[in-house]
Amino acid sequence: MLLQRIFASVLLLACIGLALMAWPYQAAFSYEPVGPRAFPLLMLGLMGLGLLYMVFRPTPIIHSDDDPKLDRETLTKIGICVVLLLMFAGTFEPLGFIVASILIGVPMARLYGGRWLPSAVIISVMAVGLYLLFDKVMDVPLPLGVLDVLEN
């Protein structure tokens, strides 16, 4: 129980630090009515509330036999997942949203048991659909990267 409280306390301090960094942020232009700092502050606030509960809750979290074990296979999957997400963050602008999503999404689907063809088709359709949703419907510009030639 002590380790759970220490972990929650460290994450709570990280949330506070990130909130202090995000608070003074002002963008030169904004395409949202509330500005670009509202979303991170809201997420950090919600995380902070959950972590406060974890720090001061009266009983520890007890894991049941149904919970997945943190064995080597599970930890390897978590590590690969983190690496893929870091690769997505690094390739998001140069390759563009669609290409980066496909290149990272298919291995992610395979990591969790998806077959090649359905994974490739579904991830491709989702990447294009999400791009159109954000860019055309919600007016949130996403980078096209290498597909920039398709833009009119």
Residues 86, 140, single domain; the answer is yes
For residue 108, the enclosing domain spans: 72-150
Structural domain includes residue 138: yes
Task: Give residue 144's pLDDT band: very low, low, confident or very high (50, 70, 90).
Answer: confident
Tokens of residue 14, six digits: 């990280």
Residues 103, 78, single domain; the answer is yes
Residues 83, 143, single domain; the answer is yes
Helix H or strand E segment including 95: helix 72-95
Residues 139, 82, single domain; the answer is yes
Residues 80, 132, single domain; the answer is yes
Structural domain includes residue 61: no
Residues 141, 105, single domain; the answer is yes
Number of structural domains in the chain = 2
Residues 96, 123, single domain; the answer is yes
Structural domain includes residue 19: yes
Q: Using CA atoms, how far apart are residues 99 and 121, in angstroms rounded to an integer? A: 13
Residues 80, 137, single domain; the answer is yes
Residue 126 has pLDDT above 80, yes or no: yes
Structural domain includes residue 64: no
Residue 47 has pLDDT above 80, yes or no: yes
Residues 81, 144, single domain; the answer is yes
Q: Using CA atoms, how far apart are residues 41 and 90, in angstroms rounded to an integer? A: 23
Q: Are 127 and 120 in contact (CB under 8 A)?
A: no
Task: Give residue 5's pLDDT band: very low, low, confident or very high (50, 70, 90).
Answer: confident
- pTM greater than 0.85: no
